[in-house]
Amino acid sequence: MSIVSDRHSSDVYELVKDHIANLSQTPKFTPEQQQAYKDKIKALLVEHNAVLVAHYYTDPVVQALAEETGGCVSDSLEMARFGRDHDADTLIVAGVKFMGETAKILTPEKRVLMPTLEATCSLDLGCPADEFAEFCDQHPDRTVVVYANTSAAVKARADWVVTSSIALDVVDYLDSRGEKIIWAPDKHLGGYVAEQTGADIILWDSACIVHEEFKAKGIEDLKALYPDAAVLVHPESPKSVVALADVVGSTSQLINAAKTLPNKQCIVATDQGIFYKMQQMAPDKELYIAPTAGSGATCRSCANCPWMAMNELESLSKVFERDDNEIFVDPELGKQAMKPLQRMLDFAKVAG
Ligand code: 13P
Ligand code: SF4
């Protein structure tokens, strides 16, 4: 395994730090205001035959609203499947932009709205389609596998799209066929996949600004306090953090681990939005967020994705009023991107 792209995650860090500095703080509402927003959103969903599809990292209030209204709270793979299979005319995607784009690619006939299209992802930002296409062109003998956290244009250049819940299985399968791989954009997840499968992989150099903040030292210190705790780690985290894990997995795999492991305590290295569902599924467990080095100016990026946090009640309540929050994907590009996405969905079906 080697990192051969000339893009460096530090470039993206600078970009992202600027972006975070310009974000407004999530407004806090009184319980009455919160209820008024929720009532308004519920009525709008019915009026527009719309359904709310939310990621585990969004605000717990948004996740609860999705549940109360017959929508879904899940990982990115299940969000894609749920939106595709639901008979609503409009999907309201509470997550980040690539999730809205994936929904649109899978069901171009549906209207896909998001609370804000500014909700992006450092991995998506760190993998511009033109630079990525050049990179792929330099390695024409390799199968191109991209993480779901990418733009429609990057997906359109790929042979396979994977989410973290299925990455190992897909790469293992490709490796068994003797295929050499280009992996993008997350170097930590790609490195983990390469190590686990032994596949010949070259990596794009990008990272998630949230997971990259977890520090092995902080987890070791917490483990000293709770020696019997299980350490659950999302594979977007650095190698030194993954090395301490009892379970490495996607968001849904980590929730399942919290539920099924015998340990009373779990130290969790992923976005803290996950605690809403994790605690619901494992009510008797004590859950601790893995420490990050973050304090001070950039601490909102630590274990709390600043883009996921943009999905708040006020913007959701205005989702039908705005004219700048609908997802459009060029139909030709969408058709191209659909092929690697469909491969993943077909693979997931067979793999169960
Ligand atoms: P999942 O695919 O596990 O939902 O993760 C998406 C993500 O953005 C993780 O940071
Ligand atoms: Fe992207 Fe990281 Fe946020 Fe997930 S947590 S959406 S990978 S920036």
Residue pLDDT, tens place only, 8-24: 445 554 555 554 455 44
DSSP labels for 61-122? HHHHHHHHTT-EEE-HHHHHHHHHH---SEEEEES-HHHHHHHHHH-TTSEEE-S-TT---H
Give the ligand whose atoms come closest to the C-alpha of residue 208.
2
Checking if the pLDDT of 64 tops 90, the result is yes
At residue 5, the pLDDT reads 54
At residue 80, the pLDDT reads 87
Q: Is 54 in the pocket of ligand 2 (CB under 6 A)?
A: no
At residue 140, the pLDDT reads 97
CA of 308 to the centre of ligand 2 (A): 8
At residue 210, the pLDDT reads 94
Helix (DSSP H) and strand (DSSP E) numbers for the chain: 16, 13
> Hey, which of 72, 77, 149 would you mutate to test ligand 1's pocket, going by the most ligand atoms within 8 Å of its Cβ?
149
Amino acid at 198: G
Cα separation, 255 vs 188, in Å, equals 21
Q: pLDDT band for 292, please (50, 70, 90 cuts).
A: confident
Q: SS3 for 264?
A: coil
- Residue 133 CA to its chain's centroid (Å): 23
Q: From 280, 277, 278, select the one nearest 266 (Cα to Cα).
A: 278
Q: Is 236 in the pocket of ligand 1 (CB under 6 A)?
A: yes
At residue 297, the pLDDT reads 37
Q: From 322, 344, 316, select the one nearest 44 (Cα to Cα).
A: 316
* Average pLDDT, rounded, for the chain: 91
Question: Cβ–Cβ contacts within 10 Å for residue 327, how many?
Answer: 21
- Ordered structural domains, the chain, with CATH: 2-8+123-208+331-351 (3.40.50.10800), 16-121+307-317 (3.40.50.10800), 211-301 (3.40.50.10800)
At residue 25, the pLDDT reads 47
